[in-house]
A and B are shown apart, each in its own frame.
Chain A
C-alpha cells in the first residue's frame, strides 16, 4: 500500500 502519505505520523 502506498499508504495515506504518512499522515498519522508526526
Chain B
C-alpha cells in the first residue's frame, strides 16, 4: 500500500458516495446512466469472487464489501426506488457491445485459464469501458449537472491515481500486472476529454456543456 494507491481508493469511494448522496438527497437519478451502474456492479461481483478465498487484509475485505454494497445500492435506487426519475430515453448504449467483447477478451488474454482468474480478468476489461454508457449519455444530452461532473472527475481520478501507483510499485517493488495496467490506461484515456472540459468549465463555475 502506498499513498497513490490509497488516494486512488479514496477517490473511488468519494465518487461512489457523491453519486449515492446526489440520488438520495435530490430523490432523482436524472442524468445518470443506469447501464454504467449495472456494469460497475457486475465488475465488482466478478472481481471480488475471491472475497472469501483470498484474504489480503481487513482494509481490503472491508473496501470490497463497501464497493459491492454501494454499487448494488445505487442500482436499487435507480431501478426501484427512484425509477420514475430514471432518464432511460437517453441511456441507450447497448450493453452487449461492451460485455461480449470483455468476455471474449478475458477468455483469450488472461494470466491463467482458471475460473476465478478469468472472472477477475473480465472485471478488469469490463471496468475499463463501463463508463462509456454514462459518457454517451452526457454527449447525447450535451450537458451534465455539476454534481454529475464531480462524480465523473472523482471516478476518473481513481484510475489515474492507480496508474501512478503502478509506476511506483514497478520501481519500488518490481511489481507489475500488464493486464491491469493496460486496461487501466485505456480506462483513464476515456476520461481525458471529460477532464479537459471539467477543468476548463466546471472548475470555473460553469455548467458542463458540450460545444454544439
Contacts and interface: CB of A to CB of B under 8 A. Distances in A.
Given A5-B111, A5-B120, A10 B175 contact: no
A10 to B, nearest CB: 5
A10 B63 contact: yes
Interface in B10-66: 12, 50, 54, 56-57, 60, 63-64
B120 A3 contact: no
A6 B64 CA distance: 14
Contact of A8 (B60, B67, B178, B179): B60
Interface residues of B, number: 25
Nearest to B44: A10
A7 B112 CA distance: 13
Contact of B54 (A1, A7, A9, A10): A7
A7 B67 contact: no
Interface of B: 5, 9, 12, 50, 54, 56-57, 60, 63-64, 67, 111-112, 117, 120, 162, 165, 173-180
Interface of A: 1-3, 5-10
Contacts of B178: 2
Contacts of B177: 2-3, 5-6
A10 B174 CA distance: 19
A7 B176 contact: no
Nearest to A3: B175
A10 B67 contact: yes
A5 B177 CA distance: 6
Given A1-B175, A3-B175, A5-B111, A10 B12 contact: yes
Contacts of A10: 9, 12, 60, 63-64, 67
28 contacts: A1-B173, A1-B174, A1-B175, A1-B176, A2-B111, A2-B176, A2-B177, A3-B173, A3-B175, A3-B176, A3-B177, A5-B111, A5-B112, A5-B117, A5-B120, A5-B177, A6-B177, A6-B179, A7-B56, A8-B56, A8-B57, A8-B60, A9-B180, A10-B9, A10-B12, A10-B60, A10-B63, A10-B64
